[in-house]
Amino acid sequence: MVVGHMSRIPILTRDQAPAASQAKLDALREELGFVPNVFRIAAHSPHALAGLSALHGAVRGALDPKLREQIALAVSHVNGSRYCLSAHTYWGRRRGLASEEMALNRQGKATDARANAVVCFAAKVAESRGDVDDRDIESVRAAGFSDAEILELVATSVYYLFTNFINNVLKTDIDPEFASDEALRHGP
């Protein structure tokens, strides 16, 4: 409960979660080293947690981890998700992204031309609710992305939209791991 508010519904411990959610929480703890609050809050509904976990697993292997964090920062900034901006500043730092780069990513930009095309595209997907134009598709193609990778960019953007919506609707408390001054300073 780092940012001075309480989540709109309780953040569950593993043992408080429905039995059908517990195995997914255990798998997340194994993968990440802890279970972020977004998953703990989603655990109220085994169906919501299953969907969130499935999409998390699907996009996790689709793109470079740094690029996924850059997408997350761009999409989360568009959606004003303070929780997700904090989380992805933490994960971005762990994946080697510099503070200056992450500040650009939140603006829908990147220093590297290939990443810039992706981050700009992800921000546009979020801003336009997916109603991008031909130029947007051509910009990621020109940066070397295949049709399959364009679909992965969309899927990754949608995964972060999903987490943004959960956290914005439920006002999820920011995990202590994510609550750096840098992350909170760059919130919406």
pLDDT value, residue 179 = 83
Domain of 162 in residue numbering reads as: 65-185
Same domain, 56 and 70: no
Number of structural domains in the chain: 2
Which tens digit of pLDDT belongs to each residue from 130-145?
A: 999 999 999 999 999 9
Same domain, 51 and 74: no
Q: Could you tell me the CATH number of the domain that includes residue 135?
A: 1.20.1290.10
Which tens digit of pLDDT belongs to each residue from 3-18?
A: 446 899 999 999 999 9
Q: Is residue 30 part of a domain?
A: yes
d(CA 20, CA 23): 7
For residue 103, name the pLDDT band (cuts at 50, 70, 90).
very high
Q: Summarize the confidence of residues 159-167 as an average pLDDT.
A: 97
Judged against a pLDDT cut of 80, whether residue 45 lies above it is answered with yes
Q: What is the pTM of this model?
A: 0.91
Judged against a pLDDT cut of 70, whether residue 25 lies above it is answered with yes
Structure token pair of residue 150 = 């364009």
